[in-house]
Structure 1
Amino acid sequence: MNLAFDVPEWRKIRVIINTDAKNEADDQFAIVHALLTPRFRIKGIIGAQFETTGKMMNREHTMQQSCDEVHKILSLMDLEGQVPVYSGAANPLSDELTPEPSAGAEAIVREAMADDDAPLYVVFMGPLTDMATAYLMEPKIAGRVTVIWIGGEDYPNGGWEYNLFNDIHAANVIFDSPIELWQVPRGVYTTMRVSLAELIHKVQPYGRIGNYLVEQLIEFNNSIKYPTWPKGEMWSLGDSPCISLLLDEHEYGYTYKPAPRITQDMYYVHDQKERMIRVYHFVDPRFTLEDMFSKLALHYSNHNN
C-alpha cells in the first residue's frame, strides 16, 4: 500500500469481515477501507446472506451474490487470491439451537482457536448468522473474539431494522452468549452521511475501485423508487463505523447495557442485568469518512483508472 506509513506488528489486529455485500451499495466502501488499512491483518471475507429482505426485492441466492461482489472488489484492487473469501450460510437460522454450517463459520472458529496473540475481531455488516453458527458449533470461541455488529434499532425500544430483520434468531444467540459484542445501532450508523457530489470528488478519481464504488452507488440510488428513500443526492455509508472503531474505540462514544431479548417483531425486552454488551451512541463521521477518503487518495493518486 502506498500510504507512506506502516503500523508496528505488535499493534496489528486480526480481522474477519462478514458482509452482505450486494444488498445495496455501502458495504463496498467499508470493505475497501478495511483492505487499505495497515493495522488490519485481514484473515478472510465472508459473503453473507440477506434472504429475508432479498425476497422483498425478488432476489434469491443472496449469499452467492455477496461472495461474487467481494471477488469483484478484490479484482478491481488487484488483490484477487491474496485474501481468502468464504461462503457464509445460505439461509438464516431456523431457530436458536440449530446452526447453519458454512465455510465462513468454520473459518471464524478456526481463527478464534488459532495460536495467535493478536486480538481477533469479526465485523458484521449484515446479519449475525455466521457468528451465531460459529458459536453454536464451538462455544469455546467466546473469550477469544470480539464481534462488532452494524445492526439493531435504537434503545430502549428497538423495532424494525434491516440487518436484524435478516436473522433475528442469530441476534438472540449472540446477545445471549458470553461473546464480547459491540453494537452500532441504526441511529448511529446512519450518521455516516455523504453526498453524491462528495463521493464523485473524493472517491471516483482514485483507481478502478474508486470509479466502481461511485458508479455502483449511483446506479443503485437511481434504481430505487420508494417515496421517501433514497433522497436523491445523498447516501449513508452505514457499514463504515465497524472499520473506524478498530482504529479508535471511541471510548467516549459507548455505554455498557444489559443485552435485551429481541422479539420476532424486533422490539427489545429488558429482562436481565447480567449479560452486558457495548452499545455505541456516537461514532465520529469526520474521522471515519476522511480516513477512508485519504487512504484512497494516498494509495491511488498515481494510478490510472
Structure 2
Amino acid sequence: MEYPIITETQRMERLNARTGKIRMVLDTDTFNEIDDQFAVVYALQSPERLQVEAFYAAPFFNELSTGPKDGMEKSYHELHKILNLMGRTDIPIYKGSETYLPGPETPVESDAARNLVERAMASSPEDPLYVVAIGAITNVASAILMEPRIIENIVVVWLGGHALHWQHTREFNLEQDIPAVRIILNSGVPLVLIPCMGVASHLQTTLSEIKDFVKESGVIGEYLYETFRQVHPDHFAYSRVIWDISTIAYLVDERNTPSVLLSSPIVSDEVRWSQDQSRHLIRYVHYIDRNRVFRDFFQKLHGSI
C-alpha cells in the first residue's frame, strides 16, 4: 500500500496546538466499558472548543459481546441511548466494522468508514478533521485503506497501547486489531498517541466523587452515576479509571495533557513497542493532569442542568 507523502513540516503544522473550534468525529466502542459514555458526554459538553460532526460505533469482543459485530451493534445502540438522554438528535451515528481487518491491506466495509472518507475528503489540510478513536481502530484504518489521500486532511487522536516504557503493550484497544494499528503507525497520518497504562491510567475516580459532582447534573449525570455504581459490587476503597476522556481532554486544553514529538513506534510480533528514530514523527502524550481534567468535566456537566 502506498500512502501520500506528508512532509515533516506539514505534519508538524497539524500536530501543533490549534486555536478556535476543532471539527471532530468520535469512533467509540461505547458499550465495552463505562468510560466511553463519559467521553461522549464530555465531547458534547465542550461546544466552545469541539464541533462533533458524527459518531462511529467501533467493534469489540469481550465478555460483554459475542463477537466484534455484536460489540459494534451494542455500541451503536448505546450511542443512541446517550444522545437521546441528552436530547441530541442533531448528530448522526454510523455503524462500523463487523470484523477486524482480515489482513494488512484489506479494509472492512462499513457505513462509518465510508462516512469518514467522505468527511475527510471534504476537509483540507488547513482545516483538518480530527478523528478521535477510543476503541479498536479498525474503522479508521479501513477508511485509510479505502482512500489513502484522507491522511492529508485528518489528525488521528487515539487512546491505545501502553506507555513506551511499559514492559509490553498488550492493551485491549491495540491488541484487538494489530494490522489496523500498524496502518495508523506506518501510513504517516498525523497522529496523537495517548497510552493507557502509565498515562491515561492517572484518570481515576471513585463512586463518592461521581455522586458528589456528577449525579445531580441532570438526567445524563444520573445515568453516568448509575453506570459507574453498577460496574463493581463493592466500592469501598475502590477507584476506577475513566480512560477515554483523555482524548477529549487533549483537544479541549493541551496544557492538561503534556506531550512530546517522537518517532512513530513499531508494534512487534510479541506485542511490544520498538523504536526506529528514522521514522516519521507523532505526538505522544506522556502525562495527564488528572485534577484539571476532572474539574473541567464536572464544571461542564453542571453547566448543562
Q: Does TM-score exceed 0.5, indicating one fold?
A: yes
1:110 to 112, 115, 118: 118
Unaligned runs of 5+ in 2: 1-18
| 2:295 paired with 1:286 | no
Distance 1:155 1:231 in 2: 32
Query: 1:223-274 CA deviation, whole Å, 9 max, x = no partner?
Result: 9xxxxxx986311111011111112223981122222221343212324522
Pairwise CA distance, 1:275: 1.8
2:3 maps to: none
2:139 to 118, 130, 137: 130
Query: 1:154-188 CA deviation, whole Å, 9 max, x = no partner?
Result: 11453211111121111001100110000111111
Unaligned runs of 5+ in 1: 1-9, 224-229, 301-305
The total of aligned residue pairs comes to 281
Distance 1:94 1:121 in 2: 26
Q: How does 1:123-272 map to 2 (within 5 A)?
A: 123-156=132-165, 157-186=167-196, 187-222=198-233, 233-250=238-255, 253-271=258-276
Distance 1:115 1:151 in 2: 25
Judged with a 3 Å threshold, the aligned counterparts in structure 2 of structure 1 residues 66 and 175 are, in CA distance, closer, same or farther, namely: same
Match of 2:191, SS?
Answer: strand
1:45 to 14, 38, 55: 55
| 2:110 paired with 1:99 | no
Cα contact 1:160–1:265 (8 A) shared by 2:
no
| 2:90 paired with 1:82 | yes
Match of 1:123, SS?
Answer: strand
Distance 1:59 1:202 in 2: 35
Distance 1:133 1:232 in 2: 42
Provide the identity percentage. Answer: 34
Cα contact 1:12–1:118 (8 A) shared by 2:
no
Cα contact 2:101–2:138 (8 A) shared by 1:
yes
Cα contact 2:257–2:285 (8 A) shared by 1:
no
Distance 1:95 1:199 in 2: 42
For normalisation by structure 1, the TM-score amounts to 0.87
Cα contact 1:92–1:166 (8 A) shared by 2:
yes
For normalisation by structure 2, the TM-score amounts to 0.87
Structure 1 range deviating more: 198-207 or 159-168: 159-168
1:3 maps to: none
RMSD in angstroms over aligned alpha carbons? 2.0
Match of 2:255, SS?
Answer: coil
Cα contact 1:168–1:264 (8 A) shared by 2:
no
